Amino acid sequence: MPRAFAFAAVLALASVWTSCAADHRIYCDPTTAGVGEAPPRTDTSFRFDSTVDDETKAAITRGGGRWATITDYEHAPVFQANATWLIQVRTLHAACVGNTDRAAKVIAIAPFMGPGRTEAAAAHEIGHALGLEHLPDDTAGVMNRAAVEVAFTPADITECRRVLACPK
């Protein structure tokens, strides 16, 4: 490849990345420069283990869906068969109702605890999948370790913005 052509190609790719940096909602793939395509949802797509019953799926889907009310498009959870994250229902240790393993991209939820509690546990664990950490114990919110309902608080919004999952 002649040097002049290679240099021009690098400049063209750099201009695509620069235009994308201005608007994080535009998806740019360096191999196709796919400006204007829908952003990929690889980090916020979830699928269920085959053993999860319909009632539990419904509660978990509601809990995860609540994030769509405060996150931007790129971070809104979606539930689909070919998803990145796996959601399992299994017995956990002690009083634990959920666990998120970011490295393995697996969320574990305790067996059905009633629609409200299962929904709250799912919202909390999906928050971890989005990158959020726990709130201090004396702070109310979905990301509090003891959360029993899905009610986003200013502290949740602040934490969501900290990891850039919520708009400013």
pLDDT for the residue 10 = 33
Average pLDDT, the chain: 76
Residue 68 has pLDDT above 70, yes or no: yes
* pLDDT on residue 147: 85
146 pLDDT higher than 70: yes
More confident residue, 152 or 74: 152
Q: Which residue has the tokens 């790719």?
A: 13
Other CB atoms closer than 10 Å to residue 136's CB: what's the count?
Answer: 10
- Write out pLDDT tens, residues 106-139: 999 999 888 899 999 999 999 999 989 999 988 8
**Does residue 2 surpass a pLDDT of 80?**
no
Q: pTM for this one?
A: 0.73
Pick the closest to residue 75 from 117, 24, 18, 150 (CA basis). Answer: 24
For the purposes of burial, counting CB atoms within 10 Å of the CB of 30, is it exposed (0-12), middle (13-18) or buried (19 or more)? exposed
Confidence band, pLDDT 50/70/90 cuts, at residue 96: confident
The pLDDT value recorded for residue 19 is: 30
Burial of 20 (0-12, 13-18, 19+ CB in 10 A): middle
Task: Give the pLDDT confidence score for residue 33 in this predicted structure.
Answer: 31
Domains of the chain (ranges, CATH numbers): 1-39 (no CATH), 45-162 (3.40.390.10)
Which is higher by pLDDT, 146 or 168? 146
Say whether pLDDT at 53 is over 90. Answer: yes
pLDDT over 50 (residue 26): no
Instruction: Specify the pLDDT at position 60.
Output: 94
In sequence order, what are the beta bridge partners of 27? 37
Find the Cα–Cα–Cα–Cα dihedral 50, 99, 153, 133, rounded to 10°.
-130
